[in-house]
Amino acid sequence: MPWSWAIFASASKSNHTTPPAVLMRYDGRPAIGLGISNVLGGNVVQMGDAVKQRLSELDGQRPVGMELNVVSYQSDSVRAAVDNFVANLAWAAAQAATANIELLIEPINLRDVPHYFLNRQDEAHAIVAEVGAPNLKVQMDLYHCQIVEGDVATKLRKYLPTGRVAHLQIAGVPERREPDRGELYHPYLFALIDELGYNDHIGCEYRPAAG
């Protein structure tokens, strides 16, 4: 055939949309393109690994005369960024240790800070575990945790006993007002925090409703 159409498909939790087709060529030849995007909140590195594995499995099933080429994997860029982040943290933690300083990393939601690198509690704890420095820990902001993941009480039960949470922060969700407003019931969470034996500080970081 003289040309073919590029097909771009995107998936999300709420719907599926296929935009209008556009002409595509690869290496000067007619081609069919397939773009795969992650669901909101998904792990792009895990998705990239899964896509690579599936493409490898399908390689022997290609029709005669069809070539399979990968233009780019965002997961490779993300993995390189994570590796660089971990290496920099390891260096910074070593420098801080000479002055008896503790470093904290904080997952933050993408609604308040678009494109922020670290968003989930499990990702933060995985990075801390990979660096392996005793003076590198997590700052757990329950406001961000609720927006990104929810199930805050379960997250507290999971991560506080690890000893890797060095500071907690609170605010009313979703407007980041005073903690006595919004969808989180802090008296329950405070009782749970006491029950779990957390003895460090709890900070209030919010935007006062009165301005």
**DSSP class of residue 46?**
H
Amino acid making up residue 73: Y
- Residue 85, classed as helix, strand or coil, is helix
Task: Verify whether residue 123 is a known catalytic residue.
Answer: no
Reading the block at residue 79, the tokens are 């993995």
Active-site hit among 102, 106, 130, 149:
106
Cα–Cα distance for residue pair 198/16, rounded to 1 Å: 44
Cα–Cα distance for residue pair 210/100, rounded to 1 Å: 40
**Which parts of the chain are beta strand (E)?**
5-8, 10-11, 16-17, 22-23, 25-26, 29-30, 34-35, 103-105, 136-141, 165-170, 202-204
Rounded to the nearest 5 degrees, what angle is found at the Cα of 30, between the Cα atoms of 6 and 39? 25
Active-site hit among 123, 130, 149, 205:
205
Amino acid making up residue 206: Y
Task: Verify whether residue 205 is a known catalytic residue.
Answer: yes
Q: Catalytic residues, which ones?
A: 106, 205
